[in-house]
Amino acid sequence: EAVDFGLDAPFDVEYHDALPSTNDRARELAADGASDVVVLADRQTGGRGRRGREWSSPSGGVWMSLVLRPDVPPARVPLVTLAAAVAVTDAAREAGVDAAIKWPNDCIVPREGAERGGDKLAGVLTEMEGEASRVSWVVVGVGVNANVEPEELAGDATSVRAEAGDVERRAFVQRFLERFHELREDPDAVLDAWRDRAATLGQRVRVETADGDVVGDAVDVTEHGALVVETEDGRTVVHAGDCQHLRPA
Ligand code: BTN
Protein backbone atom coordinates (compact mmCIF):
# COMPACT_ATOMS: atom_id res chain seq x y z
CA GLU A 1 0.00 0.00 0.00
CA ALA A 2 2.75 2.46 0.93
CA VAL A 3 4.50 3.11 -2.38
CA ASP A 4 7.91 4.74 -2.27
CA PHE A 5 7.60 7.93 -4.32
CA GLY A 6 11.41 7.93 -4.69
CA LEU A 7 11.77 10.96 -2.48
CA ASP A 8 14.93 11.51 -0.56
CA ALA A 9 13.52 13.58 2.28
CA PRO A 10 13.33 13.45 6.07
CA PHE A 11 9.78 12.07 5.87
CA ASP A 12 8.29 8.66 5.26
CA VAL A 13 6.15 8.78 2.15
CA GLU A 14 2.78 7.20 1.53
CA TYR A 15 1.51 7.53 -2.02
CA HIS A 16 -2.02 6.95 -3.31
CA ASP A 17 -3.57 7.33 -6.75
CA ALA A 18 -6.76 8.61 -5.17
CA LEU A 19 -8.00 9.44 -1.69
CA PRO A 20 -11.01 11.35 -0.42
CA SER A 21 -8.59 13.74 1.34
CA THR A 22 -4.91 13.38 2.22
CA ASN A 23 -5.66 15.36 5.41
CA ASP A 24 -8.13 12.68 6.50
CA ARG A 25 -5.60 9.88 5.85
CA ALA A 26 -2.91 11.90 7.69
CA ARG A 27 -5.25 12.37 10.66
CA GLU A 28 -5.72 8.59 10.85
CA LEU A 29 -1.95 8.06 10.83
CA ALA A 30 -1.50 10.77 13.45
CA ALA A 31 -4.11 9.17 15.69
CA ASP A 32 -2.15 5.89 15.37
CA GLY A 33 0.99 7.63 16.63
CA ALA A 34 2.80 8.27 13.34
CA SER A 35 5.10 11.24 12.85
CA ASP A 36 7.12 12.76 10.02
CA VAL A 37 5.06 11.09 7.34
CA VAL A 38 3.87 12.73 4.15
CA VAL A 39 0.74 11.43 2.45
CA LEU A 40 0.46 12.18 -1.27
CA ALA A 41 -2.34 11.53 -3.72
CA ASP A 42 -2.61 12.10 -7.46
CA ARG A 43 -6.19 13.19 -6.98
CA GLN A 44 -8.68 13.71 -4.16
CA THR A 45 -12.38 13.02 -4.36
CA GLY A 46 -13.29 15.08 -1.27
CA GLY A 47 -10.52 17.67 -0.95
CA ARG A 48 -11.15 20.17 1.82
CA GLY A 49 -10.21 23.85 2.01
CA ARG A 50 -10.29 26.35 4.85
CA ARG A 51 -13.61 27.23 6.48
CA GLY A 52 -15.31 24.07 5.22
CA ARG A 53 -14.89 24.99 1.56
CA GLU A 54 -14.40 22.36 -1.13
CA TRP A 55 -10.97 22.09 -2.72
CA SER A 56 -10.85 20.91 -6.36
CA SER A 57 -8.16 18.25 -6.61
CA PRO A 58 -7.97 16.81 -10.14
CA SER A 59 -5.26 14.40 -11.25
CA GLY A 60 -1.94 16.18 -11.90
CA GLY A 61 -1.89 18.42 -8.84
CA VAL A 62 0.23 18.11 -5.73
CA TRP A 63 -2.12 17.13 -2.91
CA MET A 64 -0.22 16.24 0.22
CA SER A 65 -0.43 16.25 4.01
CA LEU A 66 2.37 16.12 6.56
CA VAL A 67 1.99 14.43 9.95
CA LEU A 68 4.07 16.21 12.58
CA ARG A 69 4.47 16.03 16.33
CA PRO A 70 6.13 19.30 17.24
CA ASP A 71 6.83 19.75 20.94
CA VAL A 72 5.06 23.12 21.15
CA PRO A 73 1.92 24.67 22.64
CA PRO A 74 -0.99 25.22 20.20
CA ALA A 75 -0.19 28.95 20.04
CA ARG A 76 3.01 28.11 18.13
CA VAL A 77 1.27 26.02 15.46
CA PRO A 78 0.55 28.99 13.15
CA LEU A 79 4.32 29.25 12.63
CA VAL A 80 4.21 25.76 11.12
CA THR A 81 1.52 26.93 8.70
CA LEU A 82 3.55 30.02 7.79
CA ALA A 83 6.58 27.78 7.17
CA ALA A 84 4.52 25.64 4.79
CA ALA A 85 3.37 28.77 2.92
CA VAL A 86 6.99 29.93 2.56
CA ALA A 87 8.19 26.51 1.42
CA VAL A 88 5.47 26.12 -1.20
CA THR A 89 6.09 29.66 -2.50
CA ASP A 90 9.80 28.92 -2.85
CA ALA A 91 9.15 25.64 -4.65
CA ALA A 92 6.75 27.46 -7.00
CA ARG A 93 9.28 30.21 -7.70
CA GLU A 94 11.87 27.60 -8.55
CA ALA A 95 9.37 26.13 -10.99
CA GLY A 96 9.29 29.54 -12.68
CA VAL A 97 6.07 30.91 -11.20
CA ASP A 98 5.90 34.51 -9.97
CA ALA A 99 4.37 33.41 -6.65
CA ALA A 100 3.79 35.37 -3.46
CA ILE A 101 2.07 34.77 -0.14
CA LYS A 102 -1.36 36.14 0.58
CA TRP A 103 -2.21 36.20 4.28
CA PRO A 104 -2.97 33.96 6.02
CA ASN A 105 -1.54 31.11 3.99
CA ASP A 106 -2.42 31.27 0.35
CA CYS A 107 0.14 31.18 -2.39
CA ILE A 108 -1.02 33.43 -5.22
CA VAL A 109 0.17 34.93 -8.47
CA PRO A 110 -0.47 38.64 -7.85
CA ARG A 111 -2.41 40.52 -10.56
CA GLU A 112 -2.84 44.27 -10.67
CA GLY A 113 -6.45 45.24 -10.00
CA ALA A 114 -7.70 41.70 -9.28
CA GLU A 115 -10.56 41.61 -6.79
CA ARG A 116 -8.80 39.07 -4.58
CA GLY A 117 -5.32 40.42 -5.32
CA GLY A 118 -4.41 37.64 -7.69
CA ASP A 119 -5.07 34.04 -8.71
CA LYS A 120 -4.66 31.21 -6.27
CA LEU A 121 -1.88 28.72 -6.90
CA ALA A 122 -1.76 26.84 -3.59
CA GLY A 123 -3.33 26.71 -0.14
CA VAL A 124 -2.54 25.29 3.28
CA LEU A 125 -5.00 23.65 5.67
CA THR A 126 -3.58 22.93 9.13
CA GLU A 127 -5.42 20.77 11.62
CA MET A 128 -4.31 19.70 15.09
CA GLU A 129 -5.19 17.93 18.27
CA GLY A 130 -3.82 18.46 21.72
CA GLU A 131 -4.06 20.28 25.00
CA ALA A 132 -3.49 23.87 25.94
CA SER A 133 0.09 23.20 27.02
CA ARG A 134 1.22 20.93 24.21
CA VAL A 135 -0.09 19.67 20.90
CA SER A 136 -0.41 15.97 20.30
CA TRP A 137 -0.18 16.13 16.50
CA VAL A 138 -0.41 18.57 13.63
CA VAL A 139 -1.48 17.78 10.08
CA VAL A 140 -0.38 20.31 7.49
CA GLY A 141 -2.29 19.87 4.24
CA VAL A 142 -0.85 21.55 1.18
CA GLY A 143 -2.62 21.73 -2.15
CA VAL A 144 -0.74 22.97 -5.22
CA ASN A 145 -2.41 23.47 -8.58
CA ALA A 146 0.53 21.96 -10.44
CA ASN A 147 -0.04 20.19 -13.77
CA VAL A 148 -3.72 21.01 -14.08
CA GLU A 149 -5.80 23.42 -16.17
CA PRO A 150 -7.26 26.43 -14.34
CA GLU A 151 -10.64 25.51 -15.88
CA GLU A 152 -10.63 22.33 -13.77
CA LEU A 153 -10.44 24.43 -10.60
CA ALA A 154 -12.91 26.59 -8.70
CA GLY A 155 -12.80 30.38 -8.44
CA ASP A 156 -9.90 32.66 -9.37
CA ALA A 157 -7.29 29.95 -9.65
CA THR A 158 -4.16 29.43 -11.69
CA SER A 159 -1.69 26.57 -11.98
CA VAL A 160 2.01 25.94 -12.45
CA ARG A 161 1.12 24.61 -15.93
CA ALA A 162 -0.68 27.85 -16.87
CA GLU A 163 2.09 30.09 -15.52
CA ALA A 164 5.27 28.27 -16.40
CA GLY A 165 4.51 24.89 -17.98
CA ASP A 166 4.41 21.48 -16.33
CA VAL A 167 6.69 20.77 -13.40
CA GLU A 168 8.14 17.42 -12.38
CA ARG A 169 6.00 16.76 -9.32
CA ARG A 170 8.57 14.62 -7.55
CA ALA A 171 11.17 17.40 -7.75
CA PHE A 172 8.59 19.95 -6.63
CA VAL A 173 7.61 17.91 -3.57
CA GLN A 174 11.24 17.18 -2.77
CA ARG A 175 12.08 20.88 -2.86
CA PHE A 176 9.05 21.72 -0.72
CA LEU A 177 9.93 19.11 1.91
CA GLU A 178 13.59 20.17 2.09
CA ARG A 179 12.65 23.82 2.50
CA PHE A 180 9.97 23.02 5.05
CA HIS A 181 12.41 20.89 7.02
CA GLU A 182 15.00 23.70 7.04
CA LEU A 183 12.43 26.15 8.34
CA ARG A 184 11.08 23.91 11.06
CA GLU A 185 14.60 23.68 12.47
CA ASP A 186 14.82 27.47 12.49
CA PRO A 187 11.55 29.11 13.64
CA ASP A 188 13.21 32.53 13.83
CA ALA A 189 13.78 32.44 10.09
CA VAL A 190 10.13 31.69 9.32
CA LEU A 191 8.67 35.13 10.03
CA ASP A 192 11.43 36.94 8.13
CA ALA A 193 11.01 34.64 5.14
CA TRP A 194 7.24 35.02 5.30
CA ARG A 195 7.40 38.84 5.41
CA ASP A 196 9.84 38.83 2.53
CA ARG A 197 7.44 36.89 0.28
CA ALA A 198 4.19 38.51 1.39
CA ALA A 199 2.04 40.25 -1.21
CA THR A 200 -0.25 41.41 1.61
CA LEU A 201 2.14 43.55 3.65
CA GLY A 202 2.21 47.19 2.67
CA GLN A 203 -1.19 46.78 0.99
CA ARG A 204 -4.40 48.54 1.88
CA VAL A 205 -6.79 45.67 2.67
CA ARG A 206 -10.32 44.81 3.61
CA VAL A 207 -10.58 41.74 5.84
CA GLU A 208 -14.07 40.30 6.19
CA THR A 209 -14.79 38.73 9.57
CA ALA A 210 -17.99 37.55 11.27
CA ASP A 211 -17.84 40.76 13.35
CA GLY A 212 -17.59 43.06 10.35
CA ASP A 213 -14.90 44.34 8.02
CA VAL A 214 -11.48 45.55 9.08
CA VAL A 215 -10.11 48.12 6.61
CA GLY A 216 -6.64 49.59 6.74
CA ASP A 217 -2.98 49.08 5.89
CA ALA A 218 -1.58 45.60 6.50
CA VAL A 219 1.67 46.38 8.29
CA ASP A 220 2.92 43.15 9.83
CA VAL A 221 2.26 39.58 10.89
CA THR A 222 2.67 38.43 14.50
CA GLU A 223 4.53 35.31 15.60
CA HIS A 224 1.12 33.75 16.05
CA GLY A 225 0.35 34.29 12.41
CA ALA A 226 -2.12 37.12 12.99
CA LEU A 227 -2.27 40.14 10.66
CA VAL A 228 -1.61 43.60 12.08
CA VAL A 229 -3.81 46.19 10.36
CA GLU A 230 -3.39 49.92 10.85
CA THR A 231 -6.97 51.26 10.77
CA GLU A 232 -8.36 54.74 11.27
CA ASP A 233 -8.89 53.83 14.93
CA GLY A 234 -5.44 52.42 15.51
CA ARG A 235 -3.86 49.00 15.22
CA THR A 236 -6.03 45.89 15.07
CA VAL A 237 -4.84 42.30 15.09
CA VAL A 238 -6.86 39.88 12.95
CA HIS A 239 -6.47 36.17 13.62
CA ALA A 240 -6.29 33.82 10.66
CA GLY A 241 -9.24 31.81 11.96
CA ASP A 242 -11.46 34.92 11.87
CA CYS A 243 -10.67 35.87 8.27
CA GLN A 244 -13.42 35.00 5.81
CA HIS A 245 -11.98 36.94 2.86
CA LEU A 246 -9.16 39.37 2.32
CA ARG A 247 -9.18 41.79 -0.60
CA PRO A 248 -7.08 44.75 -1.61
CA ALA A 249 -9.05 47.90 -0.66
C1 BTN B 1 -7.33 26.56 1.41
O2 BTN B 1 -6.70 27.43 0.83
O3 BTN B 1 -8.53 26.67 1.65
C4 BTN B 1 -6.57 25.33 1.87
C5 BTN B 1 -6.55 24.26 0.82
C6 BTN B 1 -5.81 23.02 1.27
C7 BTN B 1 -5.94 21.89 0.27
C8 BTN B 1 -5.07 20.71 0.62
S9 BTN B 1 -4.92 19.54 -0.68
C10 BTN B 1 -4.14 18.40 0.39
C11 BTN B 1 -4.87 18.49 1.71
N12 BTN B 1 -6.03 17.62 1.71
C13 BTN B 1 -7.18 18.31 1.78
O14 BTN B 1 -8.33 17.79 1.78
N15 BTN B 1 -6.92 19.63 1.85
C16 BTN B 1 -5.50 19.89 1.83
The atom of ligand 1 lying closest to the CA of 64 is 10
Q: Residues 127, 152: one domain?
A: yes
Q: Return the pLDDT at 3.
A: 40
> What are the pLDDT digits (tens) for 146-171?
999 999 999 999 999 999 999 999 99
C-alpha–C-alpha distance, residues 43 and 56, integer Å: 9
Q: What's at 78, amino acid-wise?
A: P
Domain end point (choices 177, 197, 217): 197
Sort 211 into a burial class: Cβ within 10 Å, 0-12 / 13-18 / 19+: exposed
Statement: residue 2 has pLDDT above 70:
no
- Length of the chain (residues): 249
Query: ipTM of this model?
Result: 0.99
Q: Return the pLDDT at 196.
A: 96
> Which residues span the domain enclosing 244?
204-248
Q: What is the mean pLDDT of the chain?
A: 94
Domain contains 5: no
Q: Among 37, 57, 153, 246, which is best to mutate for testing ligand 1, by the most ligand atoms less than 8 A from CB?
A: 57
Model confidence band, residue 95 (pLDDT cutoffs 50, 70, 90)? very high
> What are the pLDDT digits (tens) for 125-136?
999 999 889 999
The atom of ligand 1 lying closest to the CA of 50 is 3
> What are the pLDDT digits (tens) for 35-66?
999 999 999 999 999 999 999 999 999 999 99
Task: Tell me what the mean pLDDT of segment 10-24 comes to.
Answer: 95
Task: Tell me what the mean pLDDT of segment 70-88 comes to.
Answer: 93
Q: Return the pLDDT at 5.
A: 56
The atom of ligand 1 lying closest to the CA of 51 is 3
Q: Return the pLDDT at 187.
A: 82
Q: If DSSP states are collapsed to H, E and C, what string results for the chain?
A: CCCCCCCCCCCEEEEEEEECCHHHHHHHHHHCCCCCEEEEEEEECCCECHHHCECCCCCCCEEEEEEECCCCCHHHHHHHHHHHHHHHHHHHHHCCCCCEEECCCEEEEECCCCCCCEEEEEEEEEEEEECCCCEEEEEEEEEECCCCCHHHCCCCECCHHHHHCCCCHHHHHHHHHHHHHHHHCCHHHHHHHHHHHECCCCCEEEEEECCEEEEEEEEEECCCCCEEEEECCEEEEECHHHCCEEEEC
Tally the domains of the chain.
2
Q: Return the pLDDT at 6.
A: 60
Q: Residues 175, 212: one domain?
A: no
* Residue 235's CATH number: 2.30.30.100
Q: Among 16, 50, 63, which is best to mutate for testing ligand 1, by the most ligand atoms less than 8 A from CB?
A: 63
Q: Residues 37, 96: one domain?
A: yes
Task: Tell me what the mean pLDDT of segment 197-210 comes to.
Answer: 96
Q: Strands 12-19 and 37-44: what pairing?
A: parallel
Task: Tell me what the mean pLDDT of segment 170-177 comes to.
Answer: 94
